[in-house]
């Protein structure tokens, strides 16, 4: 994991929830920690890590995650046991 991926991880768990987290940075983080990213129909994306899945829509047309998306990814990382 590089410095940028570590910063993305820290941003996901920051309080208050940040509104400037970039979608592609999250995708790169999931891949860096051993997760699988599968593109579905339209904007649907599935993250798989440690036998746990998260189905989420990528933000569009903007690149930044919405608050509910950050919360979902945060919960996903907690449930998968990722602790960096």
Q: What is the pLDDT of residues 25-35, one digit of tens each?
A: 999 999 999 99
Q: Is the pLDDT assigned to residue 63 strictly greater than 90?
A: yes
Decide if 44 contacts 24 (C-beta within 8 A).
Answer: no
Decide if 82 contacts 74 (C-beta within 8 A).
Answer: no
* pLDDT band, very low/low/confident/very high, at 84 (cuts 50, 70, 90): confident
pTM of the model: 0.92
Taking the C-alpha atoms of residue 58 and residue 64, their distance in angstroms, rounded to an integer, is 9
- Look-up of token digits 């047309």: 61
Average pLDDT, the chain: 95
Taking the C-alpha atoms of residue 45 and residue 6, their distance in angstroms, rounded to an integer, is 22
Residue 1 is predicted with a pLDDT of 83
Domain spans in the chain, listed from the N-terminal domain onward = 3-80
């Amino acid at each position: 994991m590089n410095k940028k991926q570590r910063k993305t991880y820290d941003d996901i768990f920051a309080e208050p929830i940040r509104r400037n987290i970039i979608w592609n940075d999250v995708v790169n983080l999931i891949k860096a920690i051993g997760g699988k990213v599968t593109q579905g129909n339209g904007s649907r994306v599935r993250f798989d890590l440690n036998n746990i899945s998260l189905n989420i829509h990528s933000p569009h047309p903007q690149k930044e995650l919405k608050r509910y998306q950050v919360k979902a990814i945060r919960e996903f990382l907690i449930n998968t046991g990722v602790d960096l």
